[in-house]
Structure 1
Amino acid sequence: MPPRHWAWNFDIDRFLNPFVPRPPWRHVPYPIAHFLGYRKTKPQATGNVVPVFWSFIGIFCAIIIIEQATKHVSAFEDNGVPTVIVGSFGAAAVLQFYAIESPLAQPRNAIGGQLLSSIIGVGIAKLFRLSHRFDDIQWLGGALACATATALMGLTKTMHPPAGATALLAVADKKLLDLGWWLIPVMMLGCALMLGVALILNNIERRFPMYWWTPDDLCQGKSILQRVRESTPPKPPNKSVIDEEKAIASRGSSDGTEPGVLQPQPGATDGAANAPETGATGNAVARGDQEYLIIKHGKVIVPKDMLLSQEEEQLLETMSYRL
């Protein structure tokens, strides 16, 4: 029997989601909502050339804009803030322009994670610099900053790997150490500029973000992921469903895809407010010996004892809206 602490779970969204407003995309002119990630229909699936092309353009433009903007902010110049670009922006750019469907790349993670990490990094750096032996214990401060930032990002569902580097560099890097609290506005400016570029370029032939706050349905106020005590096999499909699956399989073999394999299609997220207006539903079942993982439109059912990280849960929830 697993230890009791294995089942401990803290879901901050249980307390925050009731106060988060429903996304207003349906009330925003569609040309604007399009570049904020809303879609009326499911975008077509693409190969790997399109993401590679747009990630190259996006990363190149975003890094240049951040570098130039940092040099010309009068508030930074007046307070002697050195014109540097934090190295973690490079890793963040890879997520936000290439791995755009990852939960780690969504705005809540990209901005919230960097904000938390920069505050923690600067705070720990200030605390350790109170010691006259700072040079001897600086390595300890960097490790503590990165570990603390990761823990808080995990608890607040703002996990963003590049932000861990931000917390570490805030203590370990001499230039960032001299920035002090100015590191926070520098990071927030960079995050805002990168997100702005991502919203424009990623929505030309792809879709970003998949959601702004959560893939859960904010209207229902509860997670779409449900756990069951015992996995029960789904009911046998009726004849019409079987005929439809055969038709899909035959179409897959004719267009070069593997028959019977569901092809990924970006769907809508942020709950029903961002779901396609067609209201289509679907099922996908991954079968083990006796366990079932059931993905339906707007619902994910997993065995009670199946361990999932927050990022894995968010990924499954995002996939459910592609059906």
Structure 2
Amino acid sequence: MAPIHHSWNFNIDRFLNPLIPPPPWNHIPYPIAYWFGFRKTKPQGTGNLMPIFWAFLGVFGAIAMIEAVGKHVASFPPHHVPLIVGSFGAAAVLEFYAIESPLAQPRNAIGGQVISAIIGCAVGKLFLLSDNFEDIKWLGGALACASATAMMALTKTVHPPAGATALLAVVDPTLIQVGWFLIPVMLLGCTLMLGAALLINNIERQFPVYWWSPEDLRQPNSMFRRRTSKKKAKETESKPEDASSGEGDARYVSDVEANAAAETELEKEDTIYAADIIIKPGQVIVPEHVYLTQEEQQYLETISKRL
């Protein structure tokens, strides 16, 4: 039997998603929504050369823009702000090449960096209270990076470059002088990089894949659901556990018979109509391989409500 702590789980989206409004694409002209990642049709796949080309342009443009803006912000020199924080280099790789990764989406790219900057500054200020800061800052760097990772995981804002932000905020002498001013510095840099990513990545690709969560934010109990394909269902079918006694074998046989007898009408329907779109009063069932926009989903649900 697995230890009880293996089943512990915390999902912050359970509390936050009901408070987050759905994307306003219905109220924004499509030519504008297009540059914010919205698509009416599923984007076509590409080879690897064009993504590399656009990533080169995007990384170059974003890093250059952050550095250029930083040189012209009057409040940066008095706070000893460097030309650029090193973690933006790693962030640029994610946001312009691995653009489909959950780690590169806006919630992670901005939220992870801000959370890590706050934690890094807090740990740095705490360790600066010691007269032996130079001798123990290595410990502070480790604590900041570990704490930032844990907080990003809890808030679903994991962004690997942000771990470097938390670490540098403690061990980098320049960023130690920046102090709490590092937070607006990171926020400005993240905003500039996101703006560049929206422009470059939406020329021939799609970015972001989602803004907050891949889950449907319209309502918690949507009538819309996806039907798992037959092939996937077979692959994920659970295997029977080994029985350690004759009594266990008998119990397993009994469970199998009970499960077979309890097969629901819905499961039979999924098998028979695996490739069909089904609209019933209060329910819309669509095969998982069918791509639908938010408007198309809402249209099918409207028909369902009229039945």
Is 1:216–1:222's contact at 8 Å kept on the other side of the alignment? no
Q: Distance in 2 between matches of 1:103 and 1:275?
A: 20
In structure 2, the CA distance between the partners of 1:188 and 1:241, relative to structure 1 (3 Å rule), is closer
230-239 or 36-45: which moved more? 230-239
Q: CA RMSD in A?
A: 3.0
Q: Deviations over 1:176-199 (max 9, x none)?
A: 111111111111111000000000
Q: Distance in 2 between matches of 1:15 and 1:212?
A: 17
In structure 2, the CA distance between the partners of 1:80 and 1:239, relative to structure 1 (3 Å rule), is closer
Q: Distance in 1 between matches of 2:298 and 2:15?
A: 29
The residue matched to 1:277 in structure 2 has which SS? helix
Match of 1:2 in 2: 2
Paired AA for residue 111 in structure 1: I
| Alpha-carbon distance, 1:241 to partner | 4.6
Is 2:26–2:295's contact at 8 Å kept on the other side of the alignment? no
Q: Distance in 1 between matches of 2:52 and 2:125?
A: 41
Q: Distance in 1 between matches of 2:297 and 2:194?
A: 29
Match of 2:62 in 1: 62
Residues 66-77 of structure 1 aligned to structure 2 (within 5 Å): 66-77=66-77
Residues 1-323 of structure 1 aligned to structure 2 (within 5 Å): 1-77=1-77, 79-221=78-220, 231=238, 237-238=271-272, 241=275, 275=294, 277=296
The residue matched to 2:75 in structure 1 has which SS? helix
In structure 2, the CA distance between the partners of 1:132 and 1:239, relative to structure 1 (3 Å rule), is closer
| Alpha-carbon distance, 1:87 to partner | 0.8
Q: Which runs of 5+ in 2 are unaligned?
A: 227-232, 239-258, 277-288, 301-307
Is 1:14–1:222's contact at 8 Å kept on the other side of the alignment? no
Q: Deviations over 1:14-40 (max 9, x none)?
A: 111111111101110111100000011
Paired AA for residue 193 in structure 2: M
Q: Distance in 1 between matches of 2:119 and 2:165?
A: 10
In structure 2, the CA distance between the partners of 1:16 and 1:240, relative to structure 1 (3 Å rule), is closer
Is 1:202–1:208's contact at 8 Å kept on the other side of the alignment? yes
Q: Distance in 2 between matches of 1:70 and 1:217?
A: 38
Q: Distance in 1 between matches of 2:273 and 2:151?
A: 50
Match of 1:251 in 2: none
| Alpha-carbon distance, 1:81 to partner | 2.9
Match of 2:281 in 1: none
In structure 2, the CA distance between the partners of 1:83 and 1:222, relative to structure 1 (3 Å rule), is farther
| Alpha-carbon distance, 1:70 to partner | 0.7
Percent sequence identity over matched residues? 62
The residue matched to 2:202 in structure 1 has which SS? helix
In structure 2, the CA distance between the partners of 1:213 and 1:93, relative to structure 1 (3 Å rule), is same
Q: Where is the helix percentage greater, Structure 1 or Structure 2?
A: 2
| Alpha-carbon distance, 1:280 to partner | 11
Is 1:115–1:187's contact at 8 Å kept on the other side of the alignment? yes
Larger Rg: 2
| Alpha-carbon distance, 1:212 to partner | 0.4
The residue matched to 1:104 in structure 2 has which SS? helix
Is 2:18–2:219's contact at 8 Å kept on the other side of the alignment? no
Paired AA for residue 103 in structure 1: P
| Alpha-carbon distance, 1:96 to partner | 0.3
Is 1:42–1:276's contact at 8 Å kept on the other side of the alignment? no
In structure 2, the CA distance between the partners of 1:109 and 1:240, relative to structure 1 (3 Å rule), is closer
| Alpha-carbon distance, 1:210 to partner | 0.4
Q: Distance in 2 between matches of 1:139 and 1:123?
A: 15
In structure 2, the CA distance between the partners of 1:51 and 1:127, relative to structure 1 (3 Å rule), is same
Is 2:79–2:181's contact at 8 Å kept on the other side of the alignment? no
TM norm structure 1: 0.71
Q: Which runs of 5+ in 1 are unaligned?
A: 243-263, 269-273, 282-323
In the alignment of these two chains, the number of paired residues is 252
Q: Distance in 2 between matches of 1:222 and 1:278?
A: 14
